[in-house]
Structure 1
């Protein structure tokens, strides 16, 4: 890998920032927001930021860069697909539980649902993330989609995944700000009490984490080598993914060579027959 040392430094920094973000979210809800519970109270709402930061941000970020880890390049692409899909599935489950928690809390408190920009964009991100996950399973994990369809959809899959991830970061920042504005009364958010400073620092860490993930995912020299990424387990008698065209071209080349040999042999036999006929006519 090119710039291997720099990659390791960025990877360690990314994991550290993500881990600290999860810890700060737990410190926020336990020290300032009555902890965690599932009774329709504030503790149930607190599952919303904790699970979203843990799953929708941290785990999704790891799922994005898992293909970049050089020590996994010797693993089969199919195994890495399962790991990628598994991490995204865990993130999706945590996001759904967090959504259930906030809706349940709002209903218990007679608070309207889906009125803020944070909720609109957040629900949109969850819906598109679900579609991304389902299509990813159907097209890239199951062995039924043709190669040309995978090649066509791969850039769209990558772009949409990074866009959803960036949207989730932005939604989390809006949610943190919204929560502080609604919750901090005395002292107010504008007075910068300790809780506000801690939550603002959490938001900054999420921006740093998202920026590091997007940077690592967008560097072409840290991409999984093509010759490794095309080695995917296929059904018995099948060909590795990405090699169908090469195999077809090879088969065609062999067929052309075989036809040439047959035609040459036929022409030689025809010439021999003509020579023998010519010799009989002269005798």
Structure 2
């Protein structure tokens, strides 16, 4: 007897994945809505260059929406679009991540600017350490993925060597991003409770 998989197992696995994807997508949209209500309803909204309290809110929105939600969707796009041509899915994957690189760069810059306005030191909290690690890993992953998988120059043996590490780093970066978002929101909430 061979080790063939039962097609019903694959169908069941796809159904579980689709259900999990729907739950994650709806949860992510709910996260967006709640975060926007929180930022615009309770913490003064966002600004660029006028007020440190509202400029840091721009950091909150950009990092959460892009580093958690969009990066998370970009990471699983190959599973959500299995019937599409592979190169087309690669472009969508790269597009999600490129958009995230741009937004995260602005998000990081807005945090640095907000700290400069208040005269606060940079990178002195657990949130900032986890966040910087997540960003450095994400930028490195993006660059490696672009050079190895998107450009047509890397030999197949290099791609085959890199792919397991690329697949391992995606969830690690996503979890690091979630940890950074959770610690950042906790800091923001605790700061709001101070009178």
TM-score by length of 2: 0.89
Match of 2:16 among 6, 29, 37: 6
Q: Which runs of 4+ in 1 moved over 6 A?
A: none
1:6 deviation in Å?
Answer: 3.0
State the distance in 1 between where 2:18 and 2:191 align: 41
State the distance in 2 between where 1:46 and 1:185 align: 17
1:74 deviation in Å?
Answer: 3.0
Match of 1:51 among 30, 48, 62: 62
Match of 2:189 among 163, 177, 180: 180
State the distance in 2 between where 1:33 and 1:151 align: 48
* Structure 1 contact 38–44 (Cα < 8 Å) conserved: yes
1:117 deviation in Å?
Answer: 1.6
Instruction: Identify the structure with bigger relative contact order (alpha carbons < 8 Å, sequence gap 6+).
Output: 1
Match of 2:5 in 1: none
1:64 deviation in Å?
Answer: 1.3
Cα distance per residue 1:74-133 (max 9 Å; x no partner): 322111111101101111211111111111111111111111121122112111111110
Match of 1:92 in 2: 101
- Work out whether 1:31 is the aligned partner of 2:44: no
1:5 deviation in Å?
Answer: 3.4
State the distance in 2 between where 1:116 and 1:85 align: 31
State the distance in 1 between where 2:50 and 2:132 align: 21
Match of 1:149 among 129, 135, 158: 158
State the distance in 2 between where 1:44 and 1:185 align: 19
* Structure 1 contact 40–104 (Cα < 8 Å) conserved: no
In structure 2, the gaps of 5 or more residues are 1-9
1:60 deviation in Å?
Answer: 0.7
Alignment of 1:199-210 (within 5 A): none
Root mean square deviation of aligned Cα: 1.3
Match of 2:174 in 1: 165
1:24 deviation in Å?
Answer: 1.0
1:40 deviation in Å?
Answer: 3.5
Match of 1:68 in 2: 79
1:137 deviation in Å?
Answer: 0.5
TM-score by length of 1: 0.62
State the distance in 2 between where 1:160 and 1:39 align: 35
3-state SS of the aligned residue for 1:34?
A: coil
Cα distance per residue 1:156-189 (max 9 Å; x no partner): 0111111111111111111111122222124xxx
In structure 1, the gaps of 5 or more residues are 187-283
Give the paired residue count.
184
3-state SS of the aligned residue for 2:129?
A: helix
State the distance in 1 between where 2:16 and 2:22 align: 10
1:65 deviation in Å?
Answer: 1.4
Name which one, 1 or 2, has greater alpha-carbon Rg: 1
* Structure 1 contact 36–44 (Cα < 8 Å) conserved: yes
